[in-house]
A and B are shown apart, each in its own frame.
Chain A
């Protein structure tokens, strides 16, 4: 049996999670600093979470396809992303990003605004406040968002199959492999079950790991021995 979907899925999901973390934190910080239009920008950023993944995939196909605005630019420098693993990363990132963004934004809103104000009166630059006060203050939220984003990226199917396709050994991730196996008939149900089980185990392990880390983090913050 070909186990390439496992590694491909991990590679795509981890890359997409990393992208979501960076983009999600950045977006949350920027949106909270907006004076006007916060609701509108928030709506646009959250949209991929509530839309059917096929709609997201179709939109990305139009955007990144040969004749799409972004696709044409990439074509000019001889890059084609459709039906490549990179497309899988893009699809997963777009779908996982809102989970990260929303969770981090919630954590940032919960943070006592006096902390940043204290940093300012003490002469810290805005960047230093972000790195040394805001980020550490949101760590549990960032961790929670990362797990959600990772789990979402791991199981991404709809948008992925529309722009990355189902090419065994190249773009076939676990969730796509499950679909293929089921399509191939009852004889392949074992394979489908194996991939389904793997996804369950991986997602569950991710949750447990973060919960463990979180309780250790809280203990460390309160200065109690581990």
Chain B
């Protein structure tokens, strides 16, 4: 069963305009902040309503503006994990988890006990959200979402409110949840490596539109748009040089990863030369900032390289041709 989305919504100057089909596998929705990825999730859950379009899970139509159908969120059975958790402050951990459950009181308690065990919350059953740490709140919110037995999982930046250490801990749990969920699950994030760890597929969102969709690996190795390339950590973009053999002109640019640069050799078609302005030290690599006529350039260089550059050095860089990425500029 797949989730089909084709929605349009205007919010002031921002407009959301998305068409996509999400398969059963976990899919990451990757985009910069303000790109509309959370709004997409809200429209799917039914807690925001698009202006026009349709949303359908398999045969079930959730929203169709032409037929005036808008199924309320209560009947969509879409589990939503909120960025700030949205736990009910006046209820205990157990009370929160049981909120979305159906069945007799005994069944609910049974299911709640199991979920609390699974998410290491048993000792905290009677605590209130105000007494919990960030990780505990996150786990409570996850358990509460799963308690309602949702068909679709919608996770809105689940790690954004956690510090680095907790992040990796919760990530394990999230990977397990995503792996055991059989239907559509969407994970909103702005971190490409996070997406790669948790989801085989991804959709890249930029400025209210889905600009690329595919396997995470393919998107990483072969980004087609600048928006996607930026999210994968590409930092260097240049106007397309004339001597690069291609018919593509105008709204395209050349992108090179900071780690793909190497000193220029004879016969390189495209070289960038300039003066080293700054060196930002790192643990395994340094970032060298070079001012070139084509603009600022960032070169990531491993510590074990011979002849590390120094500030003030004039150097010429290039990259292997298969490291050149020709990218569509989707932003105006």
| A interacts with B | yes
Chain A residues within 8 Å of B, Cβ to Cβ:
112, 114-115, 117-125, 132-133, 136-137, 139, 221-223
Does B215 count as interface, using CB distance less than 8 angstroms?
no
Q: Which residue of A lies closest to B89 (CB)?
A: A221
**Chain A proximity of B22: nearest CB distance (Å):** 18
For window 73-128 of chain B, which residues contact chain A by CB distance below 8 Å? Answer: 73-80, 82, 84, 86, 88-90, 99-100, 102, 127-128
CB atoms of A221 and B128 under 8 A apart = yes
A223 and B73 contacting across the interface, CB-CB below 8 Å: no
Q: How large is the interface on B (under 10, 10 to 19, 20 to 34, 35 or more residues)?
A: 20 to 34
Contact of A114 among B74, B75, B76, B84 (CB under 8 A): B84
Q: How far is the CA of A4 from the CA of B322 in the complex (A)?
A: 96
Residues of A near B88 (CB, < 8 A) are 115, 118-119, 132-133, 136
- Asked whether, in the complex, the Cβ of B74 is within 8 Å of the Cβ of A223, the reply is no
Which residue from A114, A119, A136 sits with its C-beta under 8 Å from B90? Answer: A136
List residues of chain B with CB within 8 A of the CB of A121.
45-47, 73-74, 76, 78-80, 100, 145, 148, 150
Residues of B within 8 A of A118 (CB): 80, 82, 86, 88
Chain B residues, Cβ within 8 Å of A223: 127-128, 130-131
Q: Which of B47, B86, B100 contacts A112 (CB under 8 A)?
A: B86
Report the bound CA distance from A112 to B150 in whole Å. 23
Q: How far is the CB of A165 from chain B (nearest CB, A)?
A: 45
- Known contacts A118-B80, A221-B89: does B74 contact A123 (CB below 8 Å)? yes
Q: Given the known inter-chain contacts A122-B99, A124-B74, please indicate yes or no for A137 contacting B130, CB distance below 8 A.
A: no
Q: Which secondary structure characterizes the binding site on chain A?
A: helix
Which residues from A are CB-within-8-Å of B214?
A: none
A123 to chain B, nearest CB (A): 5
- Report A-chain residues with C-beta under 8 Å of the C-beta of B150: 121
| A57–chain B nearest beta-carbon distance, Å | 40
- For B47, give the chain A residue with the smallest CB separation: A117
B144 within 8 A of A: yes
When the two chains form their complex, are residues B82 and A114 in contact, meaning their CB atoms are under 8 A apart? yes
Specify which of B74, B84, B145 is in contact with A120 (CB 8 Å cutoff).
Answer: B74
Task: List the A side residues contacting B77 at CB < 8 Å.
Answer: 123
Report A101 CB to chain B, min CB distance, Å: 23
Q: Does B241 contact A (CB under 8 A)?
A: no
B92 to chain A, nearest CB (A): 9
Are A122's CB and B144's CB within 8 A?
Answer: yes
- Complex interface: chain B residues within 8 A of A136 (CB): 88-90
| A122–B82 CB distance below 8 A | no
User: Given A122-B148, A137-B90, are A222 and B74 also a contact pair (CB < 8 Å)?
Assistant: no
A122 close to B128 (CB less than 8 A): no
Q: Is B58 an interface residue (CB 8 A)?
A: no
In the complex the two chains form, what is the Cα distance from A140 to B68 in whole Å? Answer: 40
8 nearest interchain CB pairs? Answer: A122-B100, A136-B90, A114-B86, A120-B73, A118-B86, A117-B47, A121-B80, A223-B131
* Separation of A157 and B72 alpha carbons in the complex (Å): 48
User: What chain A residues lie within 8 Å of B144 (beta carbons)?
Assistant: 122
Closest approach, in angstroms, between the C-beta of B172 and any C-beta of chain A? 24
Q: Looking at A117, A118, A120, A123, which has the most chain B CB atoms within 10 Å of its CB? A: A118
Q: List 13 A-B contacts (CB under 8 A).
A: A112-B84, A114-B82, A117-B42, A117-B86, A118-B88, A121-B76, A122-B99, A122-B145, A125-B74, A136-B88, A221-B89, A221-B90, A222-B131
